[in-house]
Amino acid sequence: MSAPWSAQLPGTRVRIDVVPATSRAHAELVHDWMNRPHVVPWWRLGHSLDDIRRYLDGLTHLTPWIVSADGVAFGYVETYRVSDDPLAAAYDADDDDVGWHVAVGPVELLGTGVPRLLARAVLAYLLTDAPRAVCEPDVANARMLAFCRRLGLDHLGDVDLPDKRAALMACTRAAFDARWPGDRAAIQHNTR
């Protein structure tokens, strides 16, 4: 299992903490978030609590995380190596590309800037070891596409995946460092 990590990004006062998600500790929280109206259309996991437990227990190449801001859980993230994912067949993936999925549970946090801190922290974490990070939001998810653009991700084109038509968005380490200087240095690997 991956280790917890945290960040307080340059110019911010919010501490982002990220812990591995488990069905035992987080299924109820993830279930709540996946059944919220602003999440259901994009994640398609608006299922029963038992289904969410099975989903979390069944993840193989995806690493699930719970993200908190100043001690309050608000985000669910999955990270992965693209070479282990069906996405690898949809574009000219590099062997060391990494990917991520994100959901913000509390709708009242959308538009506050806190989700952007989550995304910056996740990208900083991923780009510490990988030269490029990608995500693949549904082409109809205008809010997520705008979110990715504001983060500095480039649209590489649309791809067909088993469950959706997706916009392939990518950010290189160099582009990220130029846009968000100091973010990668802010990542703290926590030990328990």
Tell me the average pLDDT across 143-158: 96
What CA–CA distance (Å, rounded) separates 41 from 8? 31
- Predicted TM-score (pTM) of this structure: 0.95
Q: Which of 102, 6, 89, 119 is nearest to 62 (CA)?
A: 102
d(CA 106, CA 103): 9
The single-letter code of the amino acid at 34 is M
pLDDT at position 19 over 70: yes
Domain spans in the chain, listed from the N-terminal domain onward: 5-189
Angle among Cα 85, 76, 90 to the nearest 5 degrees reads 20
162-190, pLDDT tens digit by residue? 889 999 999 999 999 999 999 999 999 87
**Topology of domain 5-189, per CATH?**
Aminopeptidase (3.40.630)
Collect all residues with Cβ–Cβ distance below 8 Å to 20 and sequence separation of at least 6: 1, 2, 3, 4, 63, 64, 65, 66
Closest CA to 63 of 76, 79, 52: 79
- 54-82 residue pLDDT tens: 999 999 999 999 999 999 999 999 999 99
